[in-house]
Amino acid sequence: MKFDLNYDSSQYFFDLIALSVILLPAYLCCAVSSLRRVVFIFSGIYLLYFIAPRLALLSIIFWMALFVLQRLVAAMEARVAAQPDNKSIAALANLLFTASIVIALSPMLTWKMYEWDFVRLINLSSNSLLEFLNRPLWEIDLARDIVTPVGLSFATFRGIDLLVKTYIGKLKGLSLDRVLYYGFFPPILVVGPIIEYEEVQENAEGKLPTPSPDDILAGALRAAWGFFKILCLANFLQPASQILQSFAQQDITTIWIYLFTYTWFFYINFSGYSDIAIGMARIFGFRLKENFNNPFFAQNIIEFWSGWHMSLYRFARRNVFVPLGGYRENRHILALAGTMMTIALWHALSASMVAFGLYHTVGLIAHRRFTRWKDKNNIKFESPLTQGACVLATYLFVMLSFPLIVLPLGAAIGFYAAMFGLGG
Q: How high is the pLDDT of residue 9?
A: 85
| Residue 374 contacts residue 299 (beta carbons within 8 Å) | no
- pLDDT per residue, tens digit, the chain (424 aa), is 455 556 778 899 999 999 999 999 999 999 899 999 999 999 999 999 999 999 999 999 999 999 999 999 999 999 999 998 899 999 999 999 999 999 999 999 999 999 888 988 899 899 899 988 888 888 888 888 877 888 999 999 999 999 999 999 999 999 999 999 999 999 999 987 999 999 999 988 889 999 999 999 999 999 999 999 999 999 999 998 888 888 878 889 999 999 999 999 999 999 999 999 999 999 999 999 999 999 999 999 999 999 999 999 999 999 999 999 988 888 999 999 999 999 999 999 999 999 999 999 999 999 999 988 888 888 787 788 999 999 999 999 999 999 999 999 999 999 999 999 886 5
Burial (CB count <10 Å: 0-12, 13-18, 19+), residue 409: middle
Distance (Å, whole) CA 233 – CA 108 = 31
Q: Phi and psi for 85 in degrees, rounded to 5? A: -95, 0
Distance (Å, whole) CA 145 – CA 57 = 15
| Residue 275 contacts residue 233 (beta carbons within 8 Å) | no
Q: How high is the pLDDT of residue 377?
A: 82
Distance (Å, whole) CA 244 – CA 256 = 11
Distance (Å, whole) CA 275 – CA 263 = 18
Amino acid at 341: M
Q: How high is the pLDDT of residue 242?
A: 86
CA 265 to chain centre: 18
- By C-alpha distance, which of 159, 148, 167 is closest to 92? 167
Q: How high is the pLDDT of residue 33?
A: 95
Distance (Å, whole) CA 190 – CA 22 = 20
What are the domain boundaries of the chain?
9-208, 220-419
Distance (Å, whole) CA 238 – CA 292 = 20
| Residue 400 contacts residue 343 (beta carbons within 8 Å) | no
Distance (Å, whole) CA 183 – CA 189 = 8
Virtual torsion, Cα 237, 243, 244, 245, nearest 10 deg: 120
Distance (Å, whole) CA 260 – CA 254 = 10
Distance (Å, whole) CA 190 – CA 155 = 9
Distance (Å, whole) CA 251 – CA 248 = 8
CA 165 to chain centre: 18
DSSP per-residue string spanning 340-380: HHHHHHHH--SHHHHHHHHHHHHHHHHHHHHHHHHHHTT--
Other Cβ atoms closer than 10 A to 254:
14
**Angle at Cα 161 formed by Cα 160 and Cα 164, nearest 5°?**
85
For residue 154, the surrounding DSSP H or E stretch is helix 152-167
* pTM of the model as a whole: 0.93
